[in-house]
């Protein structure tokens, strides 16, 4: 359990030697730590389910950041497990749809 300001507490913990720090299932804390540039690796699991409700995973006011895919795995149940390095500001561009990518 974190006490005090979570961003300051995690920054202090991260500065100490030892094993990795992990958060599970806390979108708000994850967003705050990502905004504070305290996340090195992001692991996301995508379930083959459409809920049509809920909160955005990253909805804060922080700057954009890029993600570099390190690893991906699909489980027999259809879960997609993605692991990313968090990089500097995200490159931006225009997306014209899959058909333009295929037909190039």
User: pLDDT tens, 59-100?
Assistant: 878 788 899 999 999 999 999 999 999 998 777 777 777 666
**What pLDDT sits at residue 55?**
81
Q: Where are the domains of the chain?
A: 6-103
Superfamily of domain covering 6-103: Dihydrofolate Reductase, subunit A (3.40.430.10)
**What pLDDT sits at residue 26?**
84
Whole-model pTM? 0.77
Buried b (16+ CB within 10 A) or exposed e, 60-89: eeeeebeeeeeeeeeeeeeeeeeebeeeee
**What pLDDT sits at residue 97?**
74
- Please tell me the distance from the alpha carbon of residue 31 to that of residue 62, in angstroms, as a whole number: 8
Distances (CA, A) of 70 to 20, 40, 44, 83, 97: 17, 12, 12, 6, 24
Q: Mean pLDDT check: name the lowest of 3-7, 31-35, 51-55, 98-102.
A: 98-102
- Please tell me the distance from the alpha carbon of residue 67 to that of residue 82, in angstroms, as a whole number: 11
**What pLDDT sits at residue 101?**
62
DSSP state of 36: T
């Amino acid at each position: 359990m974190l006490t005090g300001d979570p961003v300051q507490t995690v920054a202090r913990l991260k500065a100490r030697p030892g094993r990795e720090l992990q958060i599970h299932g806390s979108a708000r804390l994850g967003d705050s730590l990502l905004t504070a540039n305290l996340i090195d690796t992001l692991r996301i699991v995508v379930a083959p389910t459409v809920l049509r409700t809920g909160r955005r995973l990253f909805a804060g006011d922080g700057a954009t950041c890029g993600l570099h895919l390190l690893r991906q795995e699909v489980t027999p149940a259809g879960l997609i497990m993605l692991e990313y390095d968090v990089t500097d500001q995200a490159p931006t561009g225009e997306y014209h749809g899959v058909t333009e990518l295929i037909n190039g």
